[in-house]
Amino acid sequence: MPMLLIFLRFCLSKAYNKPHPLLSDVYAHVLDRDNAGRVQELVRRDGSCLFSWRDVRPIPPENEWFETVWREYNSGEMFRKCDK
């Protein structure tokens, strides 16, 4: 049996979720609790797709609002802070 059919049979045999009931089945997914705290990365190299898992990076401790950071960047203030 081709690998894609095995994968589809596996996915469709489990209870799947959709973010909203009006969305098509393309958006259906199966929660993977075995990999909680990890993300899957995809790299395309030499015409092939390579998948790997890595641990989630922690959220940075800074509590800066986007608008504040953007204003500092546009005004050049961010760069003056680095020169000190």
pLDDT tens digits, 14-49 = 567 778 889 887 787 777 778 788 888 889 889 998
Is the residue at 32 inside a domain?
Answer: yes
Is the residue at 84 inside a domain?
Answer: no
Phi/psi for 80 (5° steps) reads: -65, -35
Question: 54: closest CA among 67, 37, 76?
Answer: 37
Can you say how many angstroms the Cα of residue 64 is from the centroid of all Cα atoms in its chain?
22
pTM over the 0.75 mark: no
Alpha carbons 51 and 39: distance in angstroms, whole number: 10
CA-derived radius of gyration, the chain: 21
Is the residue at 83 inside a domain?
Answer: no
Is the residue at 4 inside a domain?
Answer: yes
Query: How many domains, in total, are found in the chain?
Result: 1
Is the residue at 82 inside a domain?
Answer: no
The range of the structural domain enclosing residue 10 comes to: 1-57
pLDDT tens digits, 40-65 = 888 988 999 898 888 988 877 777 77
